[in-house]
Chain A
């Protein structure tokens, strides 16, 4: 088996005095969808930011193609890894077309600002997300779902083979959540893009992930297929959630049914 392109090795991550992730090791399987789950504050987003070199490790290392990601030229990393942070914000009046065009920055130089390759990449990124018709609209005037698709478009225009998405479906209604995840799935199946996402919705995570990674207190507690990871014991241990896990009648993946307190009392 070849070495995976993106790895974390005994990585320690944190902010100021606070260490959030300590000594975590994770191999991201190539050309697959990895979804990180875990309770609030367990370090999911911190890990994703570390793997996307938005946060410099305090110890250990994140490796891209076997080299330490924080020592590679950041522009070269930007051609290989696209990162979409949680709820980014655009300046007032910025159009969708201009936002997506900024995704081409890693491919531009001061002597060559715009090429036909850039133009094609932008047009393609807009059309894949169904945003071509909105190219002329201001990002801050769009609905939440459209705005999220605009940001994903920008990340796609970067044309990277690895994609790290931090809670890409937060604030979206269920139909738009499925839209975004279907798009991610298509990127993975049609282009072989390697995707790492942080998701809160366990049932959607189970449906779209090839690999689930469950985190608790800054450490990986379980890693495997959704069937292997999403068990009643794990939900109780990691989330402190009393739940029943059944087979999803639509997808056959695990479906988490929480047992609410008032139901438990009646039983």
Chain B
């Protein structure tokens, strides 16, 4: 080592560091641009295409024409919800894979999806709530309760570890799924609502839905970003993380809270949109590398772009009968398989 020491003074690392940072910034800007384009497409395309200048007109100076009504009452809510749900699921998926250090982890691992489902079904069957704006609250409450239950069950002596949480999540999900099945089998109205909610869709929701969930989503995003330096140290193992002055338990708790808020809100409004949370972090990781301060925002933007594009594609190929959840599963599954076959599942 002494021999290499003298020749080792050049600050080679510094230039590389700046180059890497420039590359990541470029990624972020490109993704923002892609989101802008996807949003424009989502506002313009559909069963009744609206030219972009008319979209602009409808947004800034509506005159009450047919185009204006379509854009403002149908496509704006759909686009806003798509962006929010995509952001939430992308960020939630990246956090979940980071905390579990498992490339196959999905944001539904904490039982949030089934919890939201049971909430929705209970709202329809027991409380006779049929308006989406109302049963969203039941869905969100169900998601939170399921996450709390999983956390309590998964906390053994020495705290909750990713493994105990995943086991508790699987058990609680199975139990909730059984309950849901039992309820919807005996109730026609419950079955109908559950069927449509479960597919995963961003269509037919009012803008108020986005407003309802916005506070929780914003809180979730802030917590998620605050969690990223901690995730960076957890990625080196719990011992190293502790040695670097992190409170591992607090870092975990913060992450779980962020995941629950984000995924619970997104799923209760749009249903469990498949594959976004699983697929998106892998693409983001390929773009940014394993630094969560970059990976998490990029995964969010990528999630939003993906959800919007899938939704637009569904409208174009099948005239609005293909919901985003179906299309993402159809496109996402082969995409994921391709990714795994080409790059392998990277150790995280």
Contact = CB atoms under 8 A, between A and B. Distances in A.
B64 interface: no
Contacts of A133: 4, 8, 12
A91 B348 contact: yes
B243 interface: yes
B8 A132 contact: yes
Contact of A106 (B14, B16, B244, B293): B244
B347 A130 contact: no
Residue in B10, B17, B229, B293 with the greatest tally of chain A CB atoms within 10 Å: B17
Contacts of A129: 1
B247 A74 contact: yes
A99 B236 CA distance: 9
Interface string A89-100: 111111111110
Contacts of B229: 105, 108, 110, 113
Contact of B290 (A91, A96, A97, A108): A91
Contacts of B246: 74, 105
A224 B218 CA distance: 59
A170 B132 CA distance: 60
B245 A78 contact: yes
A122 B13 CA distance: 9
B11 interface: yes
B60 interface: no
B260 interface: no
Contacts of A53: 242
Given A91-B347, A135-B12, A136-B13, A82 B5 contact: no
A130 B1 contact: yes
B342 interface: no
Contacts of B8: 126-127, 130-133
Contacts of A103: 244
A85 B226 contact: no
Residue in B12, B20, B348 with the greatest tally of chain A CB atoms within 10 Å: B12
A31 interface: no
Interface residues of A, number: 56
A182 interface: yes
Given A93-B290, A103-B244, A132-B11, A127 B347 contact: no
A75 B245 contact: yes
B235 interface: yes
B346 interface: yes
Interface in B217-263: 226, 229, 232-233, 235-237, 239-240, 242-247
Nearest to B233: A105
A74 B242 contact: yes
B16 to A, nearest CB: 4
B292 to A, nearest CB: 10
B289 interface: yes
A94 B157 CA distance: 32
Contacts of B4: 130, 133
Contact of B13 (A83, A85, A132, A140): A132
B9 interface: yes
Nearest to A119: B14
A16 B156 CA distance: 11
B16 A136 contact: yes
B239 A135 contact: no
Contact of B244 (A95, A98, A102): A102
A183 interface: yes
A89 B16 contact: no
B291 interface: yes
A189 B35 CA distance: 56
Contacts of B242: 53-54, 74, 83
B245 A77 contact: yes
A106 B232 CA distance: 13
A49 interface: yes
B347 A54 contact: no
Contacts of B12: 132-133, 135-136
A52 interface: yes
B157 A16 contact: yes
Interface string A127-159: 111111101100010000000010000010010
B10 A132 contact: yes
Interface in A233-258: none
A155 B245 CA distance: 12
Contact of A183 (B1, B13, B101, B239): B1
A47 B20 CA distance: 40
Contact of A85 (B243, B245, B347): B243
A127 B12 CA distance: 10
A119 B14 CA distance: 8
B14 A98 contact: no
Contacts of B236: 88-91, 99, 102
A83 B289 contact: no
A92 B348 contact: yes
Interface of B: 1-2, 4-5, 8-14, 16-17, 20, 101, 157, 226, 229, 232-233, 235-237, 239-240, 242-247, 285, 289-291, 293, 346-348
Given A98-B290, A132-B13, 14 more contacts: A78-B245, A85-B239, A88-B240, A89-B237, A91-B235, A92-B346, A93-B346, A97-B13, A98-B291, A110-B226, A113-B229, A122-B13, A130-B4, A135-B17
11 contacts: A78-B245, A85-B237, A91-B346, A97-B16, A108-B229, A110-B229, A126-B8, A132-B13, A135-B17, A136-B16, A179-B1
- Closest 9 pairs (CB-CB, A-B): A78-B245, A135-B13, A92-B346, A75-B245, A83-B243, A106-B245, A85-B239, A130-B4, A136-B16
